[in-house]
């Protein structure tokens, strides 16, 4: 079953010895407005043709604005054989509210 991680859980994992890859699947204009530092941008539309660029040996936490698109992508990645995938519940908006208020909300 796909795991939904709360923002504070993702922050804890990012601070660990084996941090996950944050995969930001929002549109380019959204990333220009706000992003979690260190995240990798790969727009949702490009996932089907570029998912093989993602690591198999690292947890992937998928991020979007509110958590809906990222959940779809995380579910799809899991069907493609990525076994360690999670969704950032509430997306970047929840991250900005609960973890890092310096990240702009839009």
CB of 61 within 8 A of CB of 10? yes
Q: What is the mean pLDDT of residues 8-34?
A: 97
CB of 70 within 8 A of CB of 87? yes
Whether the predicted pLDDT of 15 surpasses 80: yes
Residue 76 known to be catalytic: no
Supply the pLDDT for residue 2. Answer: 84
List domains and CATH numbers for the chain.
Answer: 3-98 (3.40.250.10)
Given the residues 64, 85, 96, 99, the one annotated as active site: 64
pTM equals 0.96
């Amino acid at each position: 079953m796909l795991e939904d991680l709360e923002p504070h859980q993702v922050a804890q994992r990012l601070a660990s010895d084996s941090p996950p890859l944050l995969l930001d699947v929002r549109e380019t204009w959204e990333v220009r407005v706000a992003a979690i530092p260190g995240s990798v941008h790969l727009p949702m539309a490009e996932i089907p043709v570029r998912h093989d660029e993602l690591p198999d040996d690292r947890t992937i936490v998928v991020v979007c604005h509110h958590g809906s698109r990222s959940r779809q992508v995380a579910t799809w990645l899991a069907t493609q054989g990525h076994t360690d995938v999670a969704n950032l519940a509430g997306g970047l908006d929840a991250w900005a509210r609960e973890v890092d208020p310096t990240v702009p909300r839009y």
